[in-house]
Chain A
Amino acid sequence: MRHLLSALACLICVALPLHAEEVVADLSQDRVSISTSFDGSEILVFGAVKRDAPIPQGASPLAVIITISGPDEVVTVRRKDRRFGIWVNVEGVEVERAPSFYAVASTVPLDRALSETEDQRWNISTGRKLRAVGATEMAENPPAFLEALIRVREADGIYIQAAETVQLRDSTLFSTEIALPAALTEGDYNTRIFLTRDGQVVDSYATSIFVQKVGLERFIYALAHEQPLIYGLLSLAIAIAAGWIASTVFRYLLP
């Protein structure tokens, strides 16, 4: 009986090598509320690797990659050149769907944690992710535009590539902190966690963080979009009132 069981266990290991290691993960918060005093948020991503069997002898080390991707938006990348002595936009490439935020964190540099083919399959690196969502536009244009999009947005802290920021303990427990910037758009922030070995994805897990404006922020945003005329008139009323109050107060203060 015992022999049979171990034989069966071996069989499962051989037949389903991908499920030998599973990722179990959670986030410190799955909901971010944007209030008036919102100034960015730190998301703690943590989890463990669940194993049916011990790690085989001589297996290469495990790597963990974590990505967070904000809602897509339409962006235009423009290039300037000199015309008649002044610098003007000469070319523009529109990207239908570029994430408004994208962070990739990993235990080791991404090119070591992930092979090129696996990156193509899962769209993990920033460049791959952009090529996947804005495929046609980016394919027809020189790579300089894609590189520029990544460069500009990394400088703004909207796209983050953070290698070696995920801590992996005893090939089992992992955690990392990802800072969401203050300039956050509402929507679902898809979070993916990949386990890789020898550049191959062993297992993955996906969840999402829900980012929403609350309170006054919610009220103003909704009013502006649903009742634009009332919102506009209200804005004018505030302006007129502020102007009048200041004028009246100052008449008594500084005659």
Chain B
Amino acid sequence: MQVYLPIAEVSVNAFLLVGLGGMVGILSGMFGVGGGFLMTPLLFMIGIPPAVAVATEANIIVASSFSGVLAHLRRKSVDLRMGIVLLIGGLIGAGLGVQVFSLLKELGQVDLLVKLCYVVFLGIIGGLMFFESLNAIRKSRAKGPAPKTVRRQRGWIHAMPFKMKFRTSGLYISVIPPMLVGLFVGILAAIMGVGGGFIMVPAMIYLLGMPTKVVVGTSLFQIIFVTGFATLLHATTNYTVDMVLAVLLLVGGVVGAQVGTRIGTRLKAEQLRILLAIMVLAVCGKLALDLLIMPSELFSVGVDGGH
């Protein structure tokens, strides 16, 4: 069934969109990532104009994250206090990111920067997570059920002022590190057109030392607000949010997120991390190849909008 999208101005298969939404939704629920880093390139591939894909994706992430966070709230695996601290940083970061984005747009090469950002961040995070989880699995296989390792906090995080109790996470740390993490992810989210979960989740595990169980729900919680903010920004400045496209992807996405959350709770933390790592590395590899291999068509045509 073909459907004409009013803002994107292309005609696409409705079932394809629902299916894509569902697939990405499952991953989103499982890993606490918004799924933007997978969905946005997929939308480019089926012919949605990049500007519309990025803006609409932000709107979809709101839905799948909201659906996911409700499931996590019931399970009490959301650290609301940590979420709010991250969010304050995130909103400031998103505002800064939009400024950086428009500055780079004037200089040209914004496409390249976005792609390089993807390759660098996905590569580093995917690689780190992959080897860390692999080691964890190897250890637990060698010694049977491994004793629960308490991650050592680095000295400088403990030495900072403005300490706060995060009961759900079982942490007593300064608000500065989570605020900075939020800020940094906010900037990247605005530049890369994603929720930033794939950076947020590892940052919370490895930098802040939060338990993996709480990380996913908390990440989803703050992603809702950052992407909601981005949606409004895109809708009012670029008019690029496509409601019909969003609804079709949402239908699959919200259902997928629910299924994904349930799959996620049944997997072990190490398995969950290694799966996410493999996925992140696969997307990174694909993007890197696009940059390295000579394209078959050296020229590209971009419509600057304004019909």
A residues near B (Cβ < 8 Å) are 34-40, 71, 73-82, 85-89, 92, 94, 100, 144-145, 148-149, 151-153, 155, 182-187, 213, 216-218, 220-221, 224-225, 228-229, 231-236, 238-240, 242-248, 250-251, 254
Contacts and interface: CB of A to CB of B under 8 A. Distances in A.
B64 interface: yes
Contact of A74 (B63, B67, B112, B303): B303
B235 A182 contact: no
A242 B307 contact: no
Interface stretch (B132-140, B182-190, B246-254): B246-254
Contact of A242 (B63, B111, B299, B306): B63
Contacts of A38: 2, 4, 11
Contacts, number: 205
A82 B4 contact: no
Interface of B: 1-4, 6-7, 9-11, 47, 59-60, 62-68, 70-71, 74, 108-109, 111-112, 228, 231-232, 234-237, 239, 241, 243-244, 246-247, 250-251, 253-255, 257-259, 262, 290-295, 297-307
A239 B299 contact: no
Give the secondary structure class of B's interface: helix
Contact of A39 (B6, B11, B228): B11
Contacts of A80: 295, 298-300
A185 B300 contact: no
Contact of B254 (A36, A75, A153, A246): A246
A186 B112 CA distance: 31
Given A239-B60, A243-B63, A247-B70, A182 B4 contact: yes
A35 B4 contact: yes
A244 B298 CA distance: 45
B254 A225 contact: no
Contacts of A39: 2, 4, 11
5 contacts: A187-B307, A239-B63, A239-B250, A243-B65, A247-B254
A235 B243 contact: yes
Closest 4 A-B residue pairs measured CB to CB? Answer: A232-B235, A182-B11, A243-B66, A246-B254
Given A236-B59, A244-B67, A87 B11 contact: no
